Amino acid sequence: MKILVAGDFCPSYRINDFLQKNNFKGLFANICLVTEQADYSIVNFEFPIVKNRNYARPITKCGPNLLGSESSVAAIRYAGFNCCTLANNHILDQGKQCCLDTIEVLCNSSIDTVGAGKNATEAERVLYKDLCGETLAIINCCEHEFSIADETSAGANPLNPIRQYYIIQEARKKADYIIVIIHGGHEHFQLPTIRMQDTYRFFIDVGADAVVNHHQHCYSGYEVYKDKPVFYGLGNLLFDHASKRSGCWTEGYMVSIDFQKEKISFELTPYKQCTEDAVGVILMNTEEKEIFAHKIKELNVIIGDILALRNNLDKYYSESAKEELLMMEPYTDTIWYQFSKRGLLPKFLKGEKKLRIENHIICESHREKLIYALKKYDEKYTESYKRYRARMGKWPNLKHPQLFTEKIQWLKMNNRKPEYTIMVDKYAVKEYVANIIGKQYIIPTLAVWEKTEDIDCDCLPNQFVLKTTHGGGGCDVIVCKDKRKFDKEAALVKLTTSLTSDLFKKFREWPYKNVPKRIIAEKFMQVENAEEGSDLKDYKFFCFNGKVRFFKIDFDRFVEHHANYYSPDGKLLPFGEADLPPVPSHVENMPENLAEMIQLAEKLSVEQSFLRVDFYNINGLIYFGELTFYPASGMGTFTDENIDLQLGSYLKL
């Protein structure tokens, strides 16, 4: 049994011109062969049919009220589609009667419908189809917006995992195969949310054989979960937009799912639609398919990696947070609040703004963005601002940052790339760095454990180093120079404490938010003929927009900790940290490979606004230490207060 599923169809802009002329061939001729090869073809009908303008009652909502004519149905029949999913955010746009008229017109044209009805009971009805001697159950639902049916009113079937659980269980008794088709996700964002992934996997867990999603107006990737396919976004099938005639809006794929008892397989059919040059659906050529397949593969990699997926979501939410908060901004100041309370100020919660807020609360995907934005607001003003003021004695200027410390705070809040989590993970960063500069610069890893109780010292050599992968500042580092004298219990206490620490919560350093908390054992590195008790010398290179401006060398860490700063040519600079006062009389012999270290640091920081790259120089060999985005969490003080401004001038945001 081969089932073809396609994304959103809407007769917008130029598409209407074709429909009015009954030019269905110009819209769908390219895909007729694909639908003919399927036993049953399904498309999302993203609008209500208006048979008579007198019956149209556009609902009050934010966003456009879509509509179409009966000619759209003829186009769907020409294209070869047998079924229309109606659970979407537009099926109720023209009121209850037009929603019911849409169902009637489609049914009278011998096209099945699922996902909408005269009430909630009808809307959640499962569509059963006998095909190829077997029964297919089709379940269709959508995220909550303005289209949802209730006990007495027409509309769409809402996404409700509890209800869908019972429906899937009942369908399992009647059908050989079950497909769940959902309308949800973030518009114009090519990845699912964690909630979507959890929910769709849950549908597989409780009996579904395939899950398909659309709505985002762009394609997403897919995964095979427990041998069952889950597609997170098909993209538009045919949907014109005056300002979006290139990019992801114009690309998508249909998926043909072959349900067999031995194995469920599938095939993607990628296409372009509603570009500047052409309106109808056009199948991609061989070269275009290869490029598209590569893009899908990249999305699939992220979908299959929970950390990467979460980081991409965080980046997307961070970029949209400002817009989310703008619509929520009330009168928060005490005095203004009192005026507002007495009715002396205009109401902000009315009209479209009220509707927009309502939509962002009831819709699952919108609500996730709003919650993130509200948390970001707290992060920005409650945490970072207050910590900076307590430490520096003044509020940071983040609208127009000038100081180095201000710009670091700005980067903490606004520059959030998924790879940053890997770059601060003391285990994962090794592979990242090795791929850029070579594995010869990496200190060997001896073991990695999830919990302290998993630590097996017996498998380690006589000398080794233990530390947590998510820590900072070197406070969690344990050095064992002789296993016979090693205090394992004290080490476990220290590591256990470190595993409970959270640099994100403490300092709002975002890259650490999703770093897996693990323990890593490394090879013990030692300088030949070094004095007893001496520590390894590391070189901390401060890279501004990919260029080393200066570096720092710490010394006498375990006696009276100091640090001197040097220019790239090894000359002592006339400033330092207030907490680690410089010692001008301290003579430091620069290593012969200083230029190589600078070259490597710049190679690692080439795409970063700011990055500190640390190296050890051991017996004439260079070893990577760590990457730091926010030295002293962006709250370091200098011996000269003008230095903060000078360093800030180096950092271009």
Query: What are the pLDDT digits (tens) for 172-196?
Result: 999 999 999 999 999 999 999 999 9
Rounded to whole angstroms, how far apart are CA atoms 68 and 275? 21
What tokens appear for 621 in the block? 């060999």
**Beta carbons of 120 and 154 less than 8 angstroms apart:** no
Q: Where are the alpha helices (DSSP H) in 587-641?
A: 594-604
C-alpha distances out from residue 230 to 124, 192, 199, 266, 277, Å: 21, 11, 11, 11, 33
pLDDT of residue 232: 98
Below-70 pLDDT ranges, the chain: 325-350, 375-385, 472-475, 529-535, 557-558
Q: Which amino acid is at 580?
A: L
Q: What angle do CA 483, 485, 487 make, to 5 degrees?
A: 90
- pLDDT of amino acid 229: 98
Q: Which H helix or E strand runs over 359?
A: helix 351-362
| DSSP-derived secondary structure letter, 68 | B
Max CA distance (Å), the chain: 94
Predicted confidence at residue 554, as pLDDT, reads 86
Tokens linked to 300: 């699939």
Cβ-contact 502, 512 below 8 angstroms: yes
Residue pair 38/81 in contact by the 8 Å Cβ criterion: no
Q: What is the pLDDT of residue 339?
A: 64
Angle between helices 194-205 and 364-377 (to 10 degrees): 140
* Mode of pairing for the β-strands spanning 562-566 and 610-618: unpaired
Helix runs in 257-305, H state only? 286-303
3-state secondary structure of 269: strand
The string of DSSP letters for 561-595 reads: -EEEEE-TTSPBPS--BSSS---TT---PPPTTHH
Give exposure, 176-186, as e/b (b: 16+ Cβ within 10 Å). Answer: bbbbbbbbbbb
Residue 649 half-sphere exposure toward CB, CA atoms < 13 A: 4
Does the pTM surpass 0.75? The reply is: no
Residues 6+ apart with CB under 8 A from 649: none
What pLDDT does residue 95 have? 94
Strand order through the sheet with 621-628: 562-566, 547-555, 538-544, 610-618, 621-628
**What is the structure's pLDDT at 82?**
98
